[in-house]
A = this chain, B = another copy of it.
Amino acid sequence: MNFIIEQDKLSQLLDAASLAIPTRPTDPILGAILLVADAETQTLSATSFNLSLGIHSKTKANIKISGVAALPGKLLADTIGYLKGELCFELEERTCIISHSSGKRRIQSFNPSEFPQLPTGGDRSITLPVKKFLAAIRATLFATSKDETRPVITGVNFKFERDRWQAGATDSHRLALVSAAFDADMAENIEFTVSYKNLQEIEKILSTKSENSTCTLYFNSNFVEFNLPNTRITSRLLEGEFPKLDSLIPTSFQHEFYVDKAALETGLKRVATLAEKKSKTVKTIWDVNNQQLTLYTESTDVGNAIESLIIKANSTSNEQLGIGFNLTYLAEAVKYVTTDEIVIKSNGASRPAIVCPVGGILNQLTLVMPVLISSGYEIDKPANTNTTPASNPAEVAQTQSSKNVESPEVTETVAQIESEPSSETSETAQTTKAKRNRQSKPKAAVTV
């Protein structure tokens, strides 16, 4: 093996391959990057494979003598990362000698024949635009479960039908689903699930490719292969049947609230500092008459926060609607929408809500289960003689001095929701202590 290559071209190749290198490889060879230099095609390739994810990238190089070396991957990528200019690689038996303008490295190669064969994805193929495929991964990845006891839902499920394809994920408290039209000559529907761990790395590689390029997927029952310009990624598939997500999405909604994405994101961040640390609940109060959304959080013995935003509401009733959410789940559903405007659809305080972009390149939604807000926060509050009653939201609203929150409607909204008897009366029977200590998971899980 003998070749010359520019440092930046090689670094790109090695950075991609490094994504499939485990931190602590079970076998040293799985920590290696396989370099293959081909004098005939003047091509250098770098391959890594941790038995679940495989990455194979190639680039043009000045190859004088063909050859193969399996070098310690992270070490090689780090070493090359610090160099500059033209690099010369030579192989002497199992020693790779790398020379550059002011120095030289010798790195021992593993036995390249021990490097595991990268599986191929099979014969069946589908082609997608990189732009849409990348958007689909980003719109679903965050909603995957991180609980390894039920492996299949730690992945994103992909489905391809004759006229549409979709990607979906759920951690049983929320679900994310995207779909797009499709025109493929397929003999049968195709479905597979890829783990979030592999998709995280695949997302990184996709984001380095031109948005106008395409990705061709080949798959069999165990592996899927993603073919990109100069890069081929192979991922093992997760076994098991993925829950049917489509049936969980309500088909019609009583309320649709349009809101500016950036304003809602900022509003949620602002009230988050005063949400109860463990439960992280936010109360959202949708005021159809005044076209206003109020966000309310409260932390026992510490204080509370209230923020108001302008909305555009389409609703079957003019009543104010109060819905409790896990703040993190709602904030993530908003974060992964890429359009300027968002629509939140609901059928009431105890029914799942969905967060969708207005426009965008995919049909996208995140379903978030509401959290019980019962008949208000202060019912849970123990008598505390050391603190003044700071956390009565009605009082907050009454003492408002700043303009936007001054409207009596906000006062009414808050007061009404606080005093409204909860529809979930069983919940209010719980002890104060138990309620304060519990994680505020959605009261009804997505049944998957």
Contact = CB atoms under 8 A, between A and B. Distances in A.
Given A82-B270, A99-B401, A108 B302 contact: yes
A308 B102 CA distance: 5
A390 B305 contact: no
A75 to B, nearest CB: 6
A99 B400 contact: yes
Nearest to A77: B273
B269 A106 contact: no
A291 to B, nearest CB: 14
Contacts of A266: 82
B388 A75 contact: no
Interface string A236-261: 00000000000000000000000000
B104 A400 contact: yes
Contacts of A382: none
Contact of A95 (B103, B105, B303, B404): B303
Q: Residue among A102, A271, A388, A391 with the most chain B CB within 10 A? A: A102
A132 interface: no
B390 A106 contact: yes
A97 interface: yes
A87 to B, nearest CB: 9
A267 B96 CA distance: 20
A15 interface: no
Interface string A84-109: 00001000111111011111111110
Contact of A94 (B101, B308, B387): B387
Contacts of A273: 75, 78-79, 82
A4 to B, nearest CB: 11
Given A103-B308, A400-B104, A388 B88 contact: no
A72 interface: yes
Given A388-B93, A404-B101, A404-B102, A303 B270 contact: no
Contact of A104 (B72, B88, B101, B305): B305
Contact of A303 (B82, B108, B386): B108
Q: Residue among A72, A94, A101, A108 with the most chain B CB within 10 A? A: A108
Nearest to A295: B103
A202 to B, nearest CB: 27
Q: How many copies does the complex hold?
A: 2
Given A88-B401, A388-B94, A401-B99, A396 B104 contact: yes
A14 interface: no
Nearest to A99: B402
Interface in A123-149: none
A396 B106 contact: yes
A104 B405 contact: yes
Contacts of A303: 95-96, 105-108
Interface in A194-247: none
A13 interface: no
A129 B96 CA distance: 54
A403 B101 contact: yes
A72 B95 CA distance: 60
A93 B103 CA distance: 71
A166 interface: no
Contacts of A308: 102-103
A274 interface: yes
A400 B99 CA distance: 7
A301 B402 contact: no
Contacts of A105: 274, 303-306
A39 interface: no
A93 B96 CA distance: 75
A271 B107 CA distance: 12
Q: Residue among A92, A95, A401, A405 with the most chain B CB within 10 A? A: A95
A83 interface: yes
Interface of A: 72, 75, 78-79, 82-83, 88, 92-97, 99-108, 111, 266-267, 269-271, 273-274, 301-309, 386-388, 390-391, 396, 399-405
11 contacts: A79-B305, A94-B388, A95-B390, A103-B305, A103-B306, A104-B306, A104-B399, A105-B304, A106-B304, A106-B305, A108-B387
